[in-house]
Amino acid sequence: MSRYRLDVAYDGTAYAGWQIQPNGDTIQAQLETALHALTGERVTVHGSGRTDRGVHARRQPAHLDLVRDRTPKELKTGLNALLPPDIRVLKAAAAAPDFHARRNAIAKEYRYFIWNAEVLPPPLRLYRTHVPRRLDVSAMQRAAAGLAGCHDFASFTANPNRPVASTVRTLSVLHVVKRGSEITVTARAEGFLYRMVRSLAGFLIRVGQGAEPAARTAAMLKARTRTAHVPTAPPQGLFLWRVWY
């Protein structure tokens, strides 16, 4: 068996997320179907993480094993000829036998994009969350500063319907930056809880709207209980941006 790494970009609009599931097309299913057509082998593609329905990826690393050796160029060219146009292999490379796209990741970065203006340009409707009312970015930045660091983020996650060893995570970066009408929330950590980034974005939007004070962050973390104060922001604004190894 030979192991390969793929770096995959995708528009998640038409898909039920990364992971194969019985009720909906997924990125993983598309990749595995294309690989079978290309190689004749039934393989499992392991991604660095599970993006939700409607979430996008600028660069999602993945790995797979093949019985018959292929050149990286064969894999990249062949897969892109078979995949739908909203999924593309940016890079294919031979990988060490022990490389694991998820377990070897040491940090991940997500970016959440908000269009903060009265009108959302139609070409951006699938890639930005529209908030027409002017947001208080300074308040969002203060709240983000209170959330950065090592905390128990139980108040900022949804039930993944699977056991979770710990809800403690370290957010090494949580930045809010405004450029023109676009506000970008950048979150970087060793790993994230289920829907954690969308929960952080949802809370920060409420802070920007004046519905929550920035100083509430400490109380929210201490509560360790999900409430209506932390809505899950819509998926279309979220991108898996980068993964480090």
Catalytic residues: 52
Q: What is the DSSP string of 69-87?
A: ---HHHHHHHHHHHS-TTE
CA distance 208 to 124: 21
Q: Is 150 helix (H, G, I), strand (E, B) or coil?
A: strand
Q: Classify 51 as helix, strand or coil.
A: coil
Task: Please list the alpha-helical segments (H only) found in 43-182.
Answer: 72-82, 137-147
CA gyration radius for the chain?
19
Structure tokens at 1: 């068996």
**Close Cβ partners of 240 (under 8 Å, ≥ 6 residues apart):** 48, 49, 51, 55, 56, 57, 58, 59, 60, 108, 110
Let me know if 210 is exposed, middle or buried by CB neighbors in 10 A (0-12, 13-18, 19+).
Answer: exposed
